């Protein structure tokens, strides 16, 4: 599949709004986006802003107000993809992106289901439930980005993009345990907490004991397995998109390494990758991409 070539001029102010949202809320994603060619980069910002605004809706609102706002968000996205964006800057940017590239509403519909899960459930009982949530709120982002990049390999490439997005979401969950507790949310699945003897009370008391470290390591291992599978799809992307996604994936996985260096204390410390470290990771991203490409 090829990204469409469009002579439609990107809506400058709307794109700038989406760039700002991306840069403010995900420095790692923004860093990777800079490696896309100009038009693709702008479309990626539009996609990220659309997802972020939906996520903020369920994070910042509650009850009927949140549900009404989420429904408004869904309708706005659907209109933009269909070619009838309203005056909202995110919708204007996404509407342009849908003209320039073969975007579909289906992944946004699945994202909507994931955001509904955030409103309905503040802890998942099983790892399987958590993985479904990760698929819906982040895995499908791979399906949003891949048509912008252009790709070969059909369904297999999309499946690997899904796995990469899920890996990034688990990374976010492990990084943000302390912050999520402040919102009354525990994304760590109850079955794995039980397995390692970790109680909700331990989380609120910030106990980084052997059981908690074992829980973190198990989830970290799941994330790294998903990264490995996701990486195998990157050589099927076309042109500079390979490098852009490889750099973002390398930086995101680096958060897991930072978390480990912090002793898995994600209550009082925030795992992150500095700008300098991200720059230093670029050569390793190139090498990893080359190794995987030669092995396929």
Read out DSSP for the chain? Answer: --PPP--PPP-HHHHHHHHHHHHHH-HHHHHHHTTS-HHHHHHHHHHHHHHHHHHHHHHH--HHHHHHHHHHHHHHHHHHHTT---S-HHHHHHHHHHHHS---SHHHHHHHHHHHHHHH-SB-SSHHHHHHHHIIIIIHHHHHHHHHH-BSSHHHHHHHHHHHHHHHHHHHHHHTHHHHHHTT-B-S-HHHHHHTT--HHHHHTT---HHHHHHHHHHHHHHHHHHHHHHTTGGGB-TTHHHHHHHHHHHHHHHHHHHHHTTT-TTT------HHHHHHHHHHHHHHHHHHHHH-
Distance CA 11, CA 246 (A): 28
Distance CA 35, CA 47 (A): 16
| Alpha-carbon radius of gyration of the chain | 19
Q: By the 8 A CB rule, do 206 and 249 touch?
A: no
Q: Report the predicted TM-score, pTM, of the whole model to 2 decimal places.
A: 0.92
| Angle formed at CA 230 by CA 102 and CA 192, multiple of 5 degrees | 120
Quick one: pLDDT at residue 3?
Answer: 43
Quick one: pLDDT at residue 6?
Answer: 46
Quick one: pLDDT at residue 295?
Answer: 80
pLDDT beneath 70: ranges in the chain: 1-7
Partners of 237 in the β-ladder: 151
């Amino acid at each position: 599949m090829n990204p469409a070539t469009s002579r439609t001029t990107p809506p400058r102010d709307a794109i700038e709004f989406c760039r700002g949202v991306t840069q403010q809320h995900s420095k790692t994603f923004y860093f990777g986006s800079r490696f896309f060619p100009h038009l693709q980069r702008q479309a990626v910002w539009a996609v990220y802003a659309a997802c972020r605004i939906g996520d903020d809706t369920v994070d910042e609102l509650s009850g009927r107000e949140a549900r009404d706002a989420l429904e408004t968000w869904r309708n706005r996205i659907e209109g933009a993809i269909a070619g009838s964006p309203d005056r909202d800057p995110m919708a204007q940017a996404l509407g342009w992106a849908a003209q320039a590239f073969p975007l579909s509403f289906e992944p946004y519909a699945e994202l909507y289901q994931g955001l509904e899960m955030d409103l309905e459930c503040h802890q998942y009982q099983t790892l399987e439930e958590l993985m479904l949530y990760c698929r819906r709120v982040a895995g499908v982002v791979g399906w949003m980005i891949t048509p912008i990049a252009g790709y070969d390999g059909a369904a297999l490439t999309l499946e690997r993009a899904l796995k990469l997005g899920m890996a990034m979401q688990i990374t976010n969950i492990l990084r943000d345990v302390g912050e999520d507790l402040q919102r009354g949310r525990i994304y760590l699945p109850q079955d794995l907490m039980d397995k390692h003897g970790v109680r909700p009370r331990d989380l609120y008391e910030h106990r980084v004991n052997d059981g908690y470290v074992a829980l973190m390591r198990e989830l970290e291992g799941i994330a790294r397995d998903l990264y490995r599978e996701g990486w195998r799809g990157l050589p099927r992307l076309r042109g500079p998109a390979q490098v852009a996604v490889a750099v973002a994936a390398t930086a995101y996985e680096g958060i897991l390494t930072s978390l480990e260096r912090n002793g898995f204390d994600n209550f009082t410390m925030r795992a992150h990758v500095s700008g300098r470290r991200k720059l230093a990771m670029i050569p390793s991203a190139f090498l990893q991409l080359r190794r995987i490409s030669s092995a396929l």
